[in-house]
Amino acid sequence: MRIPDGTEAVGGGTRGVGAEVPIRLRRITLHLIRMHLKTPFTTSFGTECYHNAILVEVEEKGGEVGWGECPLEAIPSYWEETFVTGWYVLTRFLVPRILREELQGPQEVWQRLVAIRGHNIAKAGLEMAIWDLAARLSGRPLYQLLGGVRNRIVSGVSIGIQLSVEATLHVVQRRVEEGYRRIKLKVKPGWDLEVVAAVRREFPEIPLSVDANGAYRLEQHLHTLRRFDDYNLLMIEQPLAYNDLVEHAALQRVLRTPICLDESIRDLRTAHSALVLASCQIVNIKAPRVGGHLQARRIHDLCQFFRIPVWIGGMLETGVGRAHNIALATLPNVKLPNDTSATDRYYEEDITEPKFVLNKDGTIDVPQRPGIGVEVVEERLRRYRLRAQEATP
């Protein structure tokens, strides 16, 4: 069976838009930044108090620039990569492959980088910066080059593990009042059924999901996992191990609630395997996790072929990564609310302007300016930057 790869669709439905913007780069600059979160964010992995990222700035010969983001942690918990490994792989292997000769378009980036195994987040930051640049050069919003079909995206919100059930209810109430269209609760063994039951009692009608980040084991926690069926959940996200497809398939067979895979969807091939095995009924696409926009679009198209809905996840990104996520969330098979919240959900001050604002109907407007539609504020970049390095051909 031929796997749809999205190649025809990227570029707004034709081969001549995004794919054929010649790009001659004169420099690539990496910026390692650290930004404090408004409130700590706790999951089954642990607690995060700040966001680390490598911002990738690419500049072409005429002076236009594009931006991408590698959302990388200090330790390899969610993913194998860290900002230390990302910096090394970018400077040593990835950036030189992109600078060596003219690009015929952003779709060419993946072919130049594919020989380097793994390191998808590092690849994605570089690739997505070039997508932004290509969109700016073509005078079009990025979402149009990716084949997007809407000018607003539906926003959900992820709520980390709180100190108590009562604190959780308070946070959920606030987010519901703000207008978010889906509430996602982080869960783990020992922090699951009680808090879900309490939220469902207080909010019987809200679309509600849970995310375990791989914290459960099938042989130990099957009874608990089956009880999630009692709470009318939209989905259970990544209940089992990050590198598992087989046990997720076994679990899905005994659950009414759809399983959504996140960490297990590493690339197009694992996505295809997951769908053939029926390991899930929903897929969370994170462009950084799979290597960038081209691979994200290919997974989107594959899921559309299998009639599996998708949504776009987040990784606490700054406005750069958030703008890329919003562009991706305009694709036609994005059927569920996304983890792409307003700017003020995580940061008192973002590194970009303008801010992303949640509308009263729980949507966020898609920028209509060329590229990702936001600009990095130089003074803020300097404030949060820990290190910078420039490379030229």
Active-site residue, 355 included: no
* Six-digit token string for 379: 């003074």
User: How many Cβ atoms from other residues are within 10 Å of residue 365's Cβ?
Assistant: 15
Active-site residue, 188 included: no
CB-based contact 43:315 (threshold 8 Å): no
CB-based contact 303:275 (threshold 8 Å): yes
CB-based contact 203:226 (threshold 8 Å): no
Beta sheet of 157-159, edge-to-edge order: 157-159, 183-186, 208-211, 235-237, 259-261, 282-285, 310-312
Catalytic residue among 123, 184, 188, 286: 286
Q: Could you give the 3-state DSSP secondary structure of residue 128?
A: helix
Report the distance separating Cα 47 and Cα 259, nearest Å. 25
What are phi and psi for residue 283, nearest 5 degrees? -125, 135
User: How many Cβ atoms from other residues are within 10 Å of residue 329's Cβ?
Assistant: 28
Report the distance separating Cα 77 and Cα 162, nearest Å. 20
CB-based contact 114:150 (threshold 8 Å): no
Catalytic residue among 123, 184, 186, 188: 186
* DSSP classification of residue 93: I
Nearest in space to 98 (alpha carbons), one of 63, 77, 82, 122: 122
Catalytic residue numbers read 186, 286
